[in-house]
Structure 1
Amino acid sequence: MISHIDHIVITVADIERSIEFYSRVLKLKPVVFGNGRKALSFGQQKINLQLLGQESRNRAAVGSADICLITSEPLTTVMDHIQKEGVSILEGPVDKSGAVGQIQSIYFNDPDDNLIEVSEYISTKC
């Protein structure tokens, strides 16, 4: 019935600060959509950004997200880039279980303390 995730929404304190962080640290592409809303795209997905209280149906708080992103580059390359951008890695690399197999992950926080996990698959299920 469900084939994939189209987008997720994270609640942030400052949309422009989040765009700067994600485009600089993870090289996500800023996009503008319906009524001037802002998002960050990568592959065929996007992360929509909203301010606290902007969406009445969503009761998320600033800093409540926990997101795992899969890298197309070696995890060591990502780690080097993130650290050069002044972001502290909280944990990793550590072995974890991903949606389709074993992953190796690192963790860091964005400016709103959302937990960001960047992972590389080390094995997949057949």
Structure 2
Amino acid sequence: MKVKSLDHFVLTTKNLEQSLHFYRDVLGMRVEEREGRYALFFGTSKINIHQRPAEFLPAAAKPQHGSLDFCLIVEDTCEALVQELSAKGVPVELGPVGRHGARGAMKSIYLRDPDGNLVELCHYEKVE
């Protein structure tokens, strides 16, 4: 077996509207709703949003809001992101800082979504 890439993951939120606002209006993701299910689309991936633990089965054994720590690759530099987030009134918890990701050296900033999940936004300097 050879895993190719990430398709989606599930985020459990305690406040759907705040979560949708953050991912749509702050991070620029596209929101879709189908039959009461919400998904956030970006690039070739998506995040499914659940409003309560184990809303749809099968599910993680102990889903809860605020327990995720994940990294998203962005096109803009971290310095530009800090300015954009500041203009939107969104605090940056840390960064820009140098990190090492799946593709090598990168710069990252860290912020929290409304549920307290740690969202890392990274930028790779070299074009691949």
- Using the size of structure 1 for normalisation, the TM-score is 0.90
Aligned AA (1:46): K
Rounded to whole Å, the distance in 2 between the matches of 1:119 and 1:82 is: 14
Does 1:90 pair with 2:75? no
1:60-91 deviation digits (Å, cap 9, x = unpaired): 21100111011112222211111111111111
What's 1:32 paired with? Answer: 33
Runs of 4+ in 1 over 3 A off after TM superposition: none
Rounded to whole Å, the distance in 2 between the matches of 1:36 and 1:11 is: 14
- Aligned-pair Cα RMSD in Å: 1.6
| SS of equivalent to 1:122 | coil
Q: Percent identity?
A: 35
Structure 1: gaps of 5 or more residues: none
| SS of equivalent to 2:124 | strand
Write out aligned runs for 1:1-126 (5 A): 1-33=2-34, 35-53=35-53, 54-55=55-56, 57-58=59-60, 59-123=62-126
Q: How many residues align?
A: 124
Structure 1 residue 113, shift from structure 2 partner: 0.5
Q: Is the 8 A contact 1:101 1:123 kept in 2?
A: no
- Using the size of structure 2 for normalisation, the TM-score is 0.89
Rounded to whole Å, the distance in 2 between the matches of 1:4 and 1:52 is: 27
Instruction: Decide which structure has greater strand share.
Output: 1
Structure 2: gaps of 5 or more residues: none
